[in-house]
Chain A
Amino acid sequence: GENVEQHPSTLSVQEGDSAVIKCTYSDSASNYFPWYKQELGKRPQLIIDIRSNVGEKKDQRIAVTLNKTAKHFSLHITETQPEDSAVYFCAAFFSGTYKYIFGTGTRLKVLA
């Protein structure tokens, strides 16, 4: 079935350190993988995305890598700052059913 697993569920890092969040997906036909950041009480907002024809994408301090063979993708945040503290969701777009299925979320805490 359509499934996205996300790890870890919580992550605490010291300010300035890097954070890595990992996701796996079930459908090899998935072709689009967005990452959303949700601050407390706010709506999820896209921070970076990657398509299946690309292995890595970077935008300033955040990067996403995709391994199609292993069906997993990861979010990397470098030089973390307190404002990076939020819940991060990965998602996979299942092209057969046109659904975004989200991971269960990672609560990131950046300690000053």
Chain B
Amino acid sequence: GAGVSQSPSNKVTEKGKDVELRCDPISGHTALYWYRQSLGQGLEFLIYFQGNSAPDKSGLPSDRFSAERTGGSVSTLTIQRTQQEDSAVYLCASSLVDRGTEAFFGQGTRLTVV
């Protein structure tokens, strides 16, 4: 079946512009995560959605970052007034339940801020 899908695959934007990154999780997966991976670095937790519960936004680095998940499925991560330090690969992952099962990753969106 279809895996986690992210779009766009690559995004180049000018400093100061807003960007939206999209994640389509695996159908039926209630948990959705966003991570940021800077070049050669680890996976930095950004935000977590579980069903209809309030999202865990504790990893968002600044108020320029926000995310929403509509209808418990598709999620968008929005970065306002992008800065060069926002350049990274943004990975989305989804899992079936919230008790600890395999998280499946999308292919990521490579964001470059010039």
Instruction: Name A's B-contacting residues (CB within 8 A).
Output: 6, 31-32, 34, 36, 42-46, 49, 51, 89, 93, 95, 97-105
Tell me whether A103 and B42 are in contact (CB under 8 A): yes
Please report whether the interface of chain A is mostly helix, strand, loop or mixed according to DSSP. strand
Among B31, B35, B105, chain A packs the most CB atoms within 10 A around the CB of: B105
Q: Which residue of chain A lies nearest to B49 when distances are taken between CB atoms in the complex?
A: A98
Compute how far the CA of A98 lies from the CA of B48 in the bound complex, rounded to whole angstroms: 8
Interface segment out of the listed B21-29, B63-71, B72-80, B96-104: B96-104
Instruction: Name B's A-contacting residues (CB within 8 A).
Output: 31, 33, 35, 41-43, 45, 48, 50, 56, 91, 93, 98-108
Tell me whether A99 and B106 are in contact (CB under 8 A): no
A-B interface pairs (CB < 8 A), number: 55
Which residues in B have their C-beta under 8 angstroms from that of A6? 42
A-B contact pairs, 28 of them (CB 8 A): A6-B42, A31-B99, A31-B100, A32-B99, A32-B100, A42-B107, A43-B105, A43-B106, A43-B108, A44-B43, A44-B105, A45-B105, A46-B102, A46-B103, A49-B102, A95-B100, A97-B48, A97-B56, A99-B56, A100-B33, A100-B93, A100-B103, A102-B42, A102-B43, A102-B45, A103-B42, A104-B41, A105-B43
Which residues in B have their C-beta under 8 angstroms from that of A36? 105
